[in-house]
Chains A and B, each alone.
Chain A
Amino acid sequence: MINYLIRRSLQMIVTIIFATFAIFVILNAVPGGPLSGLNQTGNTRDRLSDEQIARIEQALGLNKPLPLRYLTWVAGEDWVDDVAAVIGRSEAWANYQTPRCIDAGRTNAGAQTDLETSPCGRGILRFDFGVSWQMARGQEVSEVIWGRLGNTVRLMATVSVLSLLIALPIGIISAVRQYSILDYVVTTFGFFGLSMPVFWLGLILIIIFGFQFRECFGIDACKEAFGSLPYFPSGGVESSRILPGSIQDVFGVAKGSSFDRIIHLTLPTLMLTFASLASWSRFMRSSMLEVLRQDYVRTARSKGLREYVVIVKHAARNALIPVITIVVFEIPAIFSGAVLTESVFSYPGIGRLFIGALGGNDWPIVMAILYISAILVVFATLVGDILYTLIDPRIRFD
């Protein structure tokens, strides 16, 4: 067990190093780069001189050769001058640190404990993801991500819990009553869930519960009687003002209260739950079918145990084993996932941050999110494998 853990952890580290390498190469090896537009603007007065561009490049740390840029991204820049002195390149490398770092005397000494105030970049290995270039110019990337994390975690955690609570019983029942009407409905529903573009489902939800509810589906009698049905907000985390006739208005929910937030979460949650419900209930069903065919289930039945006990205690427990590994994979999804949901519902979470950073060439944010999700995926795989072996003694560490 210990050997296995050590070997897997080493593998994990190697994979993460490869991943950082891949992330860096993808973003930086393509010709052009984030500044390529600056000296090509049509208006000559807006065009930046080469000198100005060189200054920007130095401030962003883009003036270094690629390998050195990779190393400073990973390990920080406070060591660059020391290394330059050792290999006798002090002069050539003089500009290879950011102005902020040079002004502070090219070292983080005296600011060791505080990430925010350390003038030199410390690198992702020391949890410093640098400073945002565009989305929140000048702000620490870790702060920006931290600010959005809460929204994403709230959304994804709700979805995960909700869809597990629904999907597992559904999967079990449809396996126990295989070929019943319920089973048929569940399988069809599962296929639809797998084939449905989630963002489209989101659009439809907004059309129905946001717009058509407000317009009473265009039915005059309904309009005269109610004005509008209590409609849902079409996006955001909380309302800036309560619209007349909206669901918050009808139930007297104050703007910005936690109920307001819950109401905003409803449609995104519905959309994502539908998507994961389909695959999880299918998975649980097939796993349960497999187990129900086993001899020990027949033994349990022939011992005269009640059907409920056989199914819940003997079959369902074992059928959960493969499902658990799939669920563990939800950990990284909580962080990076929901890109589509967050865009459809303009919900300010990590997913939308990522899209915005990509569109605005804000590479420190892009690289940070990619790096963190790579770590989470690797970690989730490890946890999944370990759980698998712990739960099922038949699987040996090897």
Chain B
Amino acid sequence: MSVAKINLDELNNEALLVEEHESMISIYWGRLKRHRLAFISLIVLALIILGVAIGPLIMGQMTYYNVQKDAYVNYARDTQDLQSKNVSPSSDHFLGTDELGRDVLFRLLIAGRLSLTISLSVVLIQVSIGIFLGAVSGFYGGWVDSLIQRIAEFFIILPALPLLLTLSSILRNVRIPGIPPEWSQSIFIIVILSFLGWPGSCRLSRGVVLSLRNQQFTEAAKALGMSDLGIITRHMIPNALPPIIVLATLGLGGVILTESALSFLGFGINPPVATWGNMLQNAQTDMLTAPWKALIPGFFILISVLAFNYLGDGLRDALDPRLKL
């Protein structure tokens, strides 16, 4: 057996490379690309986001013939056309019209904007609350820990869907003064969903912080006179990020599902504002004559949630293969 010759320069270079922050990200990126479905999901999501961002702008430049008004009308006005209700897909309306003669494609795109914005904000808020409370809880331990954990357990134990329905049925009639009603509805939905969703990320970040709290670099930071808040924000939270990113990505799909279910039941965002969920609500009555109205929004929900789930799966493999979520 011969001992392989070791090229010291190469080793040094490798070590230097690994220490650089960017290269860590490129390692993750490389691993993510190997998960084919996750990579495809990333592209699909990018297309959906691009579509709902730019699509309405393009349609804002286009007109169609509105039978009721007997005139060419801009798509972006979201005008009713009672003369052409539930029209099947045509060159004027690529995805047909709904029960009030509005263009389904346009509504689908602005609904996507709203649904994605809501789920993104909810996840950002609940993850920020969760990660911070979890870090504080794990870092201090003692009564702070028990208090936060008891509260989190209480939130986990609450019956989720009935409670969500109750909260939104009560809050959707409350108006925030100075904002259009459809905005205050979305804000309440965001608040309710993030209010009930933080315990997951809280537990996760607490777990990570508990394992880091007694490691030497924490002691070193303490010895150097770093404040508790500094240690939590600079050392604890960055280390808790990878698993939380996975949880958040999976959560994005979950929030889209929950929001659409609420809107479908009539307890989320109310028409005329379109979301993927409430577009399905009216679809049920005309399901037999205009099935595309039921098929298309649901398909978009399915595709985007599926993409978020696959992306989350890929991110888990890339960031933290041993993570169980």
State whether A203 touches B165 (Cβ < 8 A): no
| A355 CB contacts on chain B under 8 angstroms | 165, 265
Select which of B166, B173, B253, B294 is within 8 A of A203 by beta carbon.
B294
| A199 CB contacts on chain B under 8 angstroms | 261, 264, 280
Select which of B171, B174, B253, B277 is within 8 A of A195 by beta carbon.
B253
Query: How many B residues, CB 8 Å from partner?
Result: 42
Taking CB as reference atom, which chain A residue is nearest B299? A200
Taking A207-B291, A358-B169 as contacts, is the C-beta distance between A200 and B280 under 8 angstroms?
yes
Q: Main SS of chain B's interface residues?
A: helix
B254 to A: closest C-beta gap in Å: 9
B64 to A: closest C-beta gap in Å: 27
Q: Per-position contact with A for B271-299: 1 when CB-CB < 8 Å, else 0?
A: 00000010010011001100100110010
Cα of A355 to Cα of B277 in the assembled complex, Å:
16
Confirm or deny: A237 has a beta carbon within 8 angstroms of a beta carbon on chain B: no
The stretch that binds B, out of A25-33, A75-83, A142-150, is A25-33
The stretch that binds B, out of A64-72, A220-228, A337-345, is A337-345
| B277 CB contacts on chain A under 8 angstroms | 197
Taking CB as reference atom, which chain B residue is nearest A37? B173
Confirm or deny: A370 has a beta carbon within 8 angstroms of a beta carbon on chain B: yes
Confirm or deny: A134 has a beta carbon within 8 angstroms of a beta carbon on chain B: no
State whether B305 touches A195 (Cβ < 8 A): yes
Confirm or deny: B226 has a beta carbon within 8 angstroms of a beta carbon on chain A: no
Select which of A207, A336, A354, A359 is within 8 A of B294 by beta carbon.
A207
Q: Per-position contact with B for A181-204: 1 when CB-CB < 8 Å, else 0?
A: 000000000011011111110011
Cα of A19 to Cα of B173 in the assembled complex, Å:
24
Confirm or deny: B157 has a beta carbon within 8 angstroms of a beta carbon on chain A: yes
Confirm or deny: A168 has a beta carbon within 8 angstroms of a beta carbon on chain B: no
| A337 CB contacts on chain B under 8 angstroms | 161
Q: Per-position contact with B for A1-35: 1 when CB-CB < 8 Å, else 0?
A: 00000000000000100110011001100111000
State whether B302 touches A211 (Cβ < 8 A): no
Taking CB as reference atom, which chain A residue is nearest B298? A200
| B264 CB contacts on chain A under 8 angstroms | 197, 199, 340, 343
Confirm or deny: A229 has a beta carbon within 8 angstroms of a beta carbon on chain B: no
Confirm or deny: B18 has a beta carbon within 8 angstroms of a beta carbon on chain A: no
State whether B174 touches A31 (Cβ < 8 A): yes
Select which of B157, B167, B257 is within 8 A of A197 by beta carbon.
B257
B236 to A: closest C-beta gap in Å: 26
B181 to A: closest C-beta gap in Å: 15
Taking CB as reference atom, which chain B residue is nearest A32? B173
State whether A373 touches B159 (Cβ < 8 A): yes
State whether B159 touches A191 (Cβ < 8 A): no
State whether A197 touches B261 (Cβ < 8 A): yes
State whether B167 touches A26 (Cβ < 8 A): yes
Q: Per-position contact with A for B228-265: 1 when CB-CB < 8 Å, else 0?
A: 00000000000000000000000001000100110011
Taking A197-B301, A200-B294, A200-B301 as contacts, is the C-beta distance between A370 and B284 under 8 angstroms?
no
Query: How many A residues, CB 8 Å from partner?
Result: 44
Confirm or deny: A366 has a beta carbon within 8 angstroms of a beta carbon on chain B: yes
Taking A191-B309, A195-B309 as contacts, is the C-beta distance between A373 and B170 under 8 angstroms?
no
Q: Main SS of chain A's interface residues?
A: helix
Confirm or deny: A321 has a beta carbon within 8 angstroms of a beta carbon on chain B: no
A49 to B: closest C-beta gap in Å: 24
State whether A377 touches B261 (Cβ < 8 A): no
| A30 CB contacts on chain B under 8 angstroms | 170-171, 174
Taking A30-B174, A197-B257, A199-B264 as contacts, is the C-beta distance between A207 and B302 under 8 angstroms?
no
| B162 CB contacts on chain A under 8 angstroms | 336, 339, 354, 369-370, 373
Cα of A378 to Cα of B301 in the assembled complex, Å:
32
A34 to B: closest C-beta gap in Å: 10
Q: Which of A28-80 contact B (CB under 8 A)?
A: 30-32
Confirm or deny: B106 has a beta carbon within 8 angstroms of a beta carbon on chain A: no
Confirm or deny: A332 has a beta carbon within 8 angstroms of a beta carbon on chain B: yes
Taking CB as reference atom, which chain A residue is nearest B257? A197
Taking CB as reference atom, which chain A residue is nearest B305? A195
Most chain A CB neighbours (cut-off 10 Å) among B158, B171, B291, B294: B158
List, sorted by A's number, 14 A–B pairs whose CB atoms are closer than 8 Å: A15-B157, A18-B154, A27-B166, A194-B305, A195-B308, A196-B305, A197-B298, A199-B264, A200-B294, A203-B280, A204-B295, A204-B298, A344-B284, A370-B159
Contacts from A to B (Cβ < 8 Å): 15, 18-19, 22-23, 26-27, 30-32, 191-192, 194-200, 203-204, 206-207, 211, 286, 332, 336-337, 339-340, 343-344, 354-355, 358-359, 366, 369-370, 373-374, 377-378, 381
Contacts from B to A (Cβ < 8 Å): 154, 157-159, 161-163, 165-167, 169-171, 173-174, 253, 257, 260-261, 264-267, 277, 280, 283-284, 287-288, 291, 294-295, 298, 301-302, 305-306, 308-310, 313, 324
Known contacts A199-B264, A200-B301, A339-B165; 6 further A-B pairs (Cβ under 8 A): A15-B157, A197-B305, A203-B298, A340-B261, A354-B162, A358-B169
